[in-house]
Structure 1
Amino acid sequence: MHIRLWDNNLKVRLLGEGLFNMLYWMYFPFITVYFGQSLGNHIAGVLMTVPPIFSIIGNLLGGALADRLGRRPIMLLGASLQTLMFALFALSPSHWMDYAAFIAIGFGGAIYRPASTAMVADLVPAQERRQVFAMFTTANNVGAVLGPALGAVFFFQYRQELLWSCSIVLLAYFIAIYFIVHETLPASARITERSASIQHAFKEQWRGYGIIFRDKVFLLYILAGIFALVTIMQLDMYLAVYVIHYVPSQALIHWNGNSLMLSSTEILGWLLGYSGLLFVLFLIPITKWFHHWKERNVFVLSSLLSGIGTFALGLHTNIWFLFFVTTVFTFGEMVRSPVTQSFISRYAPEHARGQYMGADSLQYTIGRFFAPVTVFLSAWLPPMGIFTIILAAALISAVLYTLLFRIYEEGRA
């Protein structure tokens, strides 16, 4: 589906979210360091466990409201809250107010996300969703590649200017949503009884989540996703610990008796940058290559590539070998990325699409909660012990995805 054929809703969102995401990655990777310098590393570590809780609440709330009030009002609510909180962050006289603003920014983003994803599903035919979701993921990863390099300078030297830039971009995006984006809530999801009280409406929405979490297929999907993401998220977790502590300084290239030497920390930076670059260059082509693959096969392949690639990191410390296995586990993440959103958008009933999108985010939040366990266990286990646990999580994920689609296909038969 070529971009020029997209609905204006999608074009506005692609530009707005892509630009904001670059600014987001200019501050997010350094926020723990910032609070660690101002409040102490121990306190900062505890504080960083709180945002996932607000993300869960925001995603569930945003998904429920998106099905009742519509996609556009909830996107406006999320964007406006983030705009105000970035301004508060820029004006804040206190580190604790900084933290409160940071929490509220994440909460606003969590409210926005299910409505935004549901809008794509509303507008795009099922057979085209993988490609469209891949385009949005690519735009986000351009920011993830460029943002940290720029943020290393701007966040610490021009933090207020950066935060004001985030606020201004989000304000412009809010205005664009208000004047250009139209509502896409399906007719089947529109509530006819508007006289019901707000309390009754929320009870109905949370009852809807109860039905979702009794859905055996959906629960297996979430559980399989958690194990898969525990593996995938090691790029930002145990990989850093392993490379810095076990990979020696070495030459990247040799020429004319000279060499480009990289320290362990620099090798980590090169691997992370390389992984992000692969996403930007190959996500859309890979999505096209696997367009006709069954979703089950894509999910299983993703788990296997991620698990085997991550496990292989512990087999050798040569930098070019590390680049090779980084390619393997990054491709594992890439083949999975667009399919997750297209599967749940197709599986969810039209009238509850926002709620399913909100509940779907639980696999990311719970996966992010459990992924650091590998770092904790590394104090007692050698690297190959940790990599074996990571591989086991990937294999469990592959088995669960196989079971999930067996039950799903039997239910459709």
Structure 2
Amino acid sequence: MLHKSVFLDIGALSCGCTDHALESLAKAISGEEGDAPDIWAQHESPFVRSLIELFSSRGLLRLEKVRDELNAWLEGKHHTPGTSTPAAPAPLNPARLDAHELALVKIYLENIPPAEFGAADWSLLIDYLVSRYMPFDALQTEAEWLAVRSVYMGKIQANVEKLPVVQADRLLAALPTTLPAARSTFDPPPVVQSVLDYGYARCADNVQAVTESTRHRLKRVIMAHEEQARLGARPPAQALQTQLFDEFATLNRDWRRIAVTEVGDNAGNGLIASLKPGTRVRRIEQYRGACPFCRKINGTVLTVVSPDKKDKDWDTEVWCGKSNIGRSGAKRKRVDDELVERTPAELWSIPAGTVHPHCRGIWTVLEEARPTDDPKFASWLDAHFAKHRKTPEALAQT
């Protein structure tokens, strides 16, 4: 393989800007930024594979509806002129349009020919489409069921190391989908409850970020195109469609990133949270497109310890909540006018969940370590297998 060197002049940059640039380069190499080679490939773990695909397909369907509806408005298919144009709706909260407000906005916009849309009208149209097909409350619900089910699929793996996809899917369908339902059904211990709460909060924030990104990206493209048209430049309609195609492709990848990363992170923490201290686990990073760091840590064996253990060893131990937040994938940083090596404490380590966005790393448990910290969940799992009249061992062989 041919390697090329790249020289960057960073002399005029501040220390903060330099470190940001180095971090961005490290993330680009790792696959954290941009499109990872196998982002659309099915996940290697049968425990989370279907959950990722289900969350992805539901989100992509929402984005597809926004795209198709936007194209219909651009083509004038929704223009239904009345005897007079209604007044523009009063100022609204663009992120939280309720059903009544959506109806008012629709009536107003339908009465205006697309050729007469002003900047405020195009902005209102995008707000209308995003609020209609990506409503805040519905997306929070999506984030909640993703977090709850991914954490418990990790706990299932801690109990049953091998399971066919069809049986994993059956378990997935039987799990609760909300935090209150999980508390009622399983009465999780404090550590697991923390994983659930923060997993949901993180996923909800990421989902909302994609929603806002959808709003911002579409407004930017539409308004730039319409501004040129108003100024007489007359850009071809095909140029707008090409730009919109690129924007939706990016948004689709952003949604897929949430699915792969959040499910992997929650499942990894759910598994580690279920194992008693002293259990040995092996990191598995065997998948096409793994970054250099992940390939390097493949096969590494770590020992599970309690999160409150003093003087935890980042190189040999793993605990629930262990992450790379605050650490860097870039080996060097800028101090004054020099680039210096980062200390080991500043660099990526092996986390309980995913190393970076798009990461597909998982754990395998090296010894019999049936968890005992969550008896209500263990009873639920035993009852599920009993209902289907097969032991976990028998299921693993089917």
Q: Quick check: which has more Rg, 1 or 2?
A: 2
Is TM (by shorter chain) over 0.5? no
Hey, which of these two has a bigger chunk of helix by percent?
1
